[in-house]
C-alpha cells in the first residue's frame, strides 16, 4: 500500500475517525485505525463493537492495500506534521509516514483480526447539519450521566412524518426539541434511544446535510449518520424511556419574562456563594425578580433583575447549574419561565421579543428544590 494525501485532509479525517476509539480496548486490535487505499480514495475506519466511524477522503493512490495501525498514535502524528503533502506506505509489518523531512515508522496490528464494520441501515431522511447539531446540544445537556441507569443516558429520537422530536431527562430536568426534516418516505414513524454522548459528538462534527439511517428489523438496533464523506453508527440503548410528555404541564399560574443575558450574568454572580448542591432562590413579582443564595452564617448574595410577570407572585428555588444549562440552551434574547406552584416543575422557553409568544420548538423543564421553612 502506498498513497499521498494533503496533511490537513489526513489530520482532520484521522482525528474524526479516531475520536471514538477506546482508551482501554478489550482486545488490542480495537485500538487500531484501519486504512484502506484504492481508486483515488483513502478510507479510514474505527470500531469498538459499540460505535463505528468511517471517513472517505481523496488521495493519490499509488498502490492499493489495507493496514491497521494505532489510531491515537496516528492522530497525534498527523496533527504534528508540517504543512506538506504526506506519503504513507507499508514496509513489511511496518507503516512508514513521510512528510517533508519528517519520517515516522509505525508497527502494524493484525488486520485480519479486525472486525467488520456494521452495515449502514436504510436511510430515513435528512436534516441540515447546523440545525441538527443545535437541536442535539439543546437536548443532550439534560441526559443522565449515571451508567447504572443506562436508559437515562440516552436521547430519545421520535420520527413522525416530517417532524423529529428529541428528548432527554436525568429525572431532575427534561429537555424537548422539535424540528422539521425531509423524510425518505411519507408516513414514516420510528423511535430510537441513542447514547447522548455519542450523539452529541457526532452531531457537532458533521457538515452539510446529515442523513439519518435507522435499523427497523429484528436483532440489535443501530442508528447511523452520514454527511460529507463521513459516516458513523452506534448501537441503540434498550429499555423503557419515561413517558415524558405527561410531565409537561398544560397550563401555568405565572408567566415570567426576563432578558436572558442579564438574568444569566446575575445568576452566575449570586451562585458564587451557593455551596455545592444548594439552590438559588428566585422571587418573582411584577417588575423584577430577586435572586438570593446563602443563608444563616454562610456567605450570602442577592441581586434584582428587571422582569415582567403575568399571574401570581411566586418564590421558587433551583439548582443554579441546571438553571444556567437551560437558559444557555434556549438560544433566545428573552427567556420565559412558566410556573404552576413552587413545588412543581417550571418550563423555560425562548422568546425573540418581550411581548412575543414563546417558542415551543424547545422546552426545558426543571424540577425546583424544596425550600425549608
Per-residue pLDDT, 154:
97
Any idea where the domains of the chain sit in the sequence?
2-113, 123-245, 248-366
- Per-residue model confidence (pLDDT) at position 277: 76
The phi, psi pair for 253, rounded to 5°, reads -95, -20
> Sign of the C-alpha dihedral, residues 312, 318, 322, 328?
positive
Location of C-alpha cell 397550563: 251
Ranges under pLDDT 70 in the chain: 216-219, 372-373
Range 123-245: architecture per CATH: Roll (3.10)
Give rounded-to-5 percent helix, strand, coil for the chain: 20, 45, 35
Whether the Cβ atoms of residue 347 and residue 325 lie closer than 8 Å to each other: no
Q: Per CATH, which fold does 248-366 belong to?
A: DNA Polymerase III; Chain A, domain 2 (3.10.150)
At 298 the pLDDT is: 80
Q: What is the DSSP letter of 108?
A: B
What's CA 173's distance to the chain center, in Å? 16
| Predicted pLDDT at 114 | 95
pLDDT of residue 216: 62
Instruction: Give the separation between CA 366 and CA 236, rounded to whole angstroms.
Output: 26
- Quick one: pLDDT at residue 276? 77
- 2-113 matches 123-245 in fold: yes
Domain 2-113: give its CATH code: 3.10.150.10
Q: What is the pLDDT of residue 218?
A: 57
> Using a CB cutoff of 8 Å and minimum separation of 24, what contacts does 348-352 make?
350/260, 351/257
DSSP codes, 263-319: HHHHHHHHGGG--TT--EEEEEETEEEEEEE--TTS--EEEEEEEEEEES-EEEEE-
Residue located via cell numbers 413517558: 243
Q: What is the pLDDT of residue 219?
A: 57
Which one-letter DSSP state was computed for residue 85? Answer: -
Helix (H, G, I), strand (E, B) or coil at 52: strand
The distance of Cα 5 from the centroid of its chain, to the nearest Å, equals: 30
pLDDT (0 to 100) of residue 280: 96
Amino acid at each position: 500500500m502506498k498513497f499521498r494525501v494533503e496533511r490537513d485532509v489526513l489530520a482532520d479525517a484521522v482525528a474524526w475517525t479516531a475520536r471514538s476509539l477506546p482508551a482501554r480496548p478489550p482486545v488490542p486490535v480495537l485500538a487500531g485505525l484501519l486504512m484502506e487505499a484504492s481508486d483515488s480514495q483513502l478510507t479510514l475506519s474505527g470500531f469498538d463493537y459499540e460505535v463505528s466511524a468511517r471517513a472517505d477522503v481523496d488521495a493519490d493512490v499509488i498502490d492499493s492495500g489495507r493496514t491497521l495501525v494505532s489510531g491515537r498514535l496516528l492522530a497525534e502524528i498527523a496533527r504534528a506534521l508540517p504543512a506538506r503533502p504526506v506519503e504513507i506506505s507499508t514496509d513489511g509489518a511496518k507503516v512508514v509516514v513521510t512528510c517533508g523531512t519528517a519520517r515516522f515508522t509505525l508497527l502494524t496490528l493484525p488486520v485480519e483480526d479486525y472486525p467488520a464494520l456494521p452495515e449502514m441501515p436504510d436511510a430515513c431522511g435528512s436534516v441540515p447539519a447546523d440545525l441538527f447539531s443545535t437541536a442535539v446540544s439543546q437536548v443532550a445537556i439534560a441526559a443522565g450521566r449515571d451508567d447504572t441507569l443506562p436508559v437515562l443516558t440516552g436521547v430519545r429520537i421520535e420520527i413522525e412524518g416530517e417532524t423529529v422530536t428529541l428528548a432527554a431527562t436525568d429525572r431532575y430536568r427534561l429537555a424537548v426539541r422539535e424540528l422539521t426534516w425531509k423524510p425518505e418516505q411519507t408516513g414514516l414513524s420510528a423511535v430510537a434511544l441513542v447514547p447522548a454522548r455519542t450523539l452529541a459528538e457526532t452531531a457537532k462534527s458533521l457538515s452539510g446535510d446529515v442523513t439519518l439511517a435507522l435499523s427497523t428489523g429484528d436483532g440489535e438496533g443501530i442508528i447511523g449518520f452520514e454527511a460529507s464523506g463521513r459516516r458513523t453508527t452506534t448501537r441503540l440503548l434498550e429499555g423503557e424511556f419515561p413517558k415524558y410528555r405527561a410531565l409537561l404541564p398544560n397550563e401555568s399560574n405565572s408567566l415570567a419574562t426576563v432578558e436572558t443575558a442579564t438574568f444569566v450574568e446575575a445568576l452566575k454572580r449570586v451562585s458564587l456563594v451557593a455551596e455545592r448542591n444548594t439552590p438559588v432562590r428566585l422571587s418573582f413579582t411584577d417588575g423584577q425578580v430577586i435572586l438570593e443564595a446563602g443563608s444563616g452564617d454562610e456567605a450570602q448574595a442577592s441581586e434584582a433583575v428587571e422582569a415582567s410577570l403575568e399571574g401570581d407572585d411566586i418564590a421558587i428555588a433551583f439548582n443554579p447549574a441546571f438553571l444556567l444549562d437551560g437558559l444557555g440552551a434556549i438560544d433566545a434574547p428573552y427567556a420565559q419561565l412558566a410556573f404552576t406552584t413552587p413545588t412543581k416543575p417550571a418550563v423555560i422557553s425562548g422568546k425573540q421579543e418581550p411581548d412575543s409568544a414563546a417558542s415551543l420548538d424547545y422546552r426545558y423543564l426543571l424540577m425546583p428544590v424544596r425550600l425549608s421553612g
